[in-house]
């Protein structure tokens, strides 16, 4: 679809700059000073949120950061900066755009539009509601825009904005003492098999659906290792059973246009993953892709929009790796840890619980031993209680006086 003239003009200008950088051996995705950090919105960052730019915009801001040597990864529009200002505070102490600063254009693509209708009671426009076909619940009615609406915004880097809090430092994985849990999870759960069976090369074989790379100990840095494996796993997302990408299913081989486009996408996806998870690939990773520089420059020079198509496709590749090989496994591991912590309280917590008066500290409960016993049945004879003799008074008939006196009974 044809883009607005101003958007197209900005794209061609950026593509020309990227081609010049590639020909000089310094493509934007190899700039170690900015490779390892995602660009984000300033306002969201100050609110404790992490709203990152993706795809085309992330690429555009990465290029600008390298070109102008910006160290801050936060960006905001003029109106967003103005919203930070407070009444009664002198302008020189307020957040504001520094004098002479030039903004960087980004693109906003709107693919849907919420339908509106007039409320009969208030006369105001409100979202039109319709039942969800799956749940039956009412939801705002949405219409798909074809073609989508493209808007252009100008943002300023944090280095161009005065009187804002400094950016928090980012955790960067650079050596073996700080392995990236996300990258290790990606390798362990890659949908394509990963074999560490090479001596001096790294590649993906579509017919085997297998990534072949050198062992990690053969890389100069852990960042080089992660960057290379991420690049090859990004290739594997193009398999017919996954994203079915032309560069994998119908490649024209090294030196061909389709091959060059696929390599550009995989390298961008590797950059996006490194930014997402704080990994810093080193010079060795870059050197292994020098052979592609000329072909990348030719592809972009011939069709400037190819740079933006590559960025959009690379973001989809990144999202696939995140969703299928990283995030869901990290969530499972986190849930398992939380359940274990919940089920097994620490002894320290038990000691801190208050005890009732006159109550001895509870001993650790020992598991009860099961006893196998059978009921014993015994016949017990209880002797009858002896009957008590009753005294009976017997009247005797009167007898004649005995002749023997002195005896009594």
Q: State both tokens at 229.
A: 């494996």
| Span 275-288, pLDDT tens digits | 888 887 766 666 66
The C-alpha atoms of residue 233 and residue 321 are separated, in whole angstroms, by: 8
Bridge partner list, 97: 161
Supply the pLDDT for residue 32: 46
**Average of pLDDT values for 314-327?**
96
Q: What pLDDT is recorded for position 391? A: 56
Spell out the SS3 assignment of 200-218.
Answer: CCCEEECCCCEEEECCHHH
Q: Are 90 and 142 in contact (CB under 8 A)?
A: no
Query: Token match 């006196």: residue?
Result: 405
Contact 274, 281 (CB under 8 A): yes
pLDDT digits (tens, 9 = 90+) for 126-160: 999 999 888 899 999 999 998 889 999 999 999 99
Spatial CA neighbour of 175 closest among 125, 217, 132: 217
Res 118 pLDDT > 70: yes
Beta strands 210-213 and 193-196, pairing class: parallel
Confidence grade of residue 31 (pLDDT, cut at 50, 70, 90):
low
Nearest-angstrom CA–CA distance, 130 and 140: 6
Q: Is the entire prediction scored with pTM above 0.85? A: no
Residue 382: pLDDT above 80? no
CA distances from 142 to 93, 112, 149, 160, 383 (A): 44, 6, 14, 38, 96
DSSP 278-321: TB---HHHHHTTGGGHHHHHHHHHH-THHHHHHHHHHHHHHHHH
The answer to whether 311 touches 279, Cβ cutoff 8 Å, is no
The least confident of 16-25, 157-166, 304-313 is: 16-25
Indicate if the pLDDT at residue 350 is higher than 80: no
Residue carrying the six token digits 């996408």:
265
Does 354 or 256 have the greater pLDDT score?
256
**For the chain, what percent of residues have pLDDT higher than 70?**
76
Q: What is the pLDDT of residue 401?
A: 47
Q: Look up residue 385 and give its two tokens.
A: 């209680």
Label residue 351 by pLDDT band (50, 70, 90): low
Kindly state the tokens that stand for 247: 């560069």
Q: State residue 220's pLDDT score.
A: 84
Exposure on the CB side of residue 92, measured as CA atoms within 13 A:
0
| pLDDT value of position 402 | 45
Nearest 5°: the CA angle 188, 193, 198 is 100
Residue tagged 């009167």 (tokens): 398
Task: Identify which of 86, 25, 5 has the alpha carbon closest to the alpha carbon of residue 291.
Answer: 25
Up-side HSE of residue 10: CA atoms within 13 Å toward CB? 21
State the Cα–Cα distance between residues 65 and 173, nearest whole angstrom: 21
What residues have CB less than 8 Å from 122, skipping those under 6 apart? Answer: none
CB-based contact 312:277 (threshold 8 Å): no
Residue pair 308/8 in contact by the 8 Å Cβ criterion: no
Q: What DSSP string describes 240-286?
A: TTTT--HHHHS---TTSHHHHHHHHHHHHHHHHHHHHHTB---HHHH
Instruction: Check pLDDT > 70 for residue 88.
Output: yes
Dist CA 209 CA 192 (whole Å) = 5
Contacts with 284 (C-beta within 8 Å, 6 or more apart), sequence order: 219, 220, 221, 224
Condensed to tens digits (0 to 9), the pLDDT of residues 191-226 reads 999 999 999 899 999 999 999 999 999 988 888 899
Average pLDDT, the chain: 83
Looking at residues 95-123, what average pLDDT do you find?
94
- The model's confidence at residue 21, banded by pLDDT at 50, 70 and 90, is confident
According to DSSP, the residues that pair with 154 across neighbouring strands are: 105
Under the banding of pLDDT at 50, 70 and 90, the label for residue 108 is: very high
Cα torsion 286, 171, 59, 320: sign: positive
Segment 46-75 mean pLDDT = 91
Mean of the pLDDT values across residues 356-384? Answer: 52
């Amino acid at each position: 679809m044809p883009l607005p003239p101003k958007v197209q003009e900005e794209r061609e200008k950026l593509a020309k700059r990227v081609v010049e950088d590639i020909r000089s051996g310094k493509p934007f995705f190899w700039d170690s000073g900015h490779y390892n950090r995602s660009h984000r919105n300033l306002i969201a960052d100050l609110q404790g949120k992490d709203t990152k730019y993706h795809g085309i915009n992330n690429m555009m801001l990465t290029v600008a950061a390298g070109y102008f040597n910006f160290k801050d990864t936060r960006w905001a529009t003029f109106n967003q900066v103005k919203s930070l200002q407070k009444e009664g505070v002198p302008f020189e102490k307020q957040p504001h755009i520094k004098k002479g600063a030039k903004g960087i254009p980004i693109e906003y693509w709107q693919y849907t539009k919420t339908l509106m209708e007039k409320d009969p009671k208030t006369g105001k426009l409100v979202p039109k509601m319709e039942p969800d076909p799956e749940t039956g619940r009412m939801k705002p009615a949405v219409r798909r825009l074809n073609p989508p609406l493209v808007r252009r915004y100008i943002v300023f880097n944090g280095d161009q904005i005065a009187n804002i809090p400094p950016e928090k430092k980012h955790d960067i994985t650079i050596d073996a003492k700080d392995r990236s849990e996300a990258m290790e999870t990606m390798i362990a759960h890659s949908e394509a098999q990963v074999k560490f069976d090479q001596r001096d090369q790294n590649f993906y074989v579509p017919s085997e659906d297998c990534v072949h790379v050198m062992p990690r100990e053969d890389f100069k840095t852990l960042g080089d290792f992660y960057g290379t494996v991420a690049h090859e796993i990004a290739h594997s997302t193009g398999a017919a059973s996954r994203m079915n990408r032309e560069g994998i299913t119908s490649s024209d081989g090294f030196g061909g246009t389709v091959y060059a486009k696929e390599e550009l996408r995989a390298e961008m996806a590797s950059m996006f993953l490194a930014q997402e998870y704080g990994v810093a690939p080193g010079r060795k990773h870059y050197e292994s892709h020098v052979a592609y520089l000329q072909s990348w420059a030719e592809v972009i020079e011939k069709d400037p929009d190819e740079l933006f198509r590559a960025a959009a496709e690379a973001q989809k590749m990144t999202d696939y790796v995140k969703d299928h090989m990283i995030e869901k496994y990290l969530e499972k591991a986190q849930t398992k840890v939380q359940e274990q912590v919940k089920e097994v309280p620490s002894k320290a917590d038990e000691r801190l619980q208050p005890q009732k008066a006159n109550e001895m500290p509870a001993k650790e409960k020992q598991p009860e031993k099961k006893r196998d016993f059978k009921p014993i049945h015994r016949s017990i004879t209880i002797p009858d209680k002896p009957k008590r003799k009753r005294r009976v008074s017997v009247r005797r008939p009167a007898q004649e006086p005995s002749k023997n006196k002195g005896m009594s009974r």
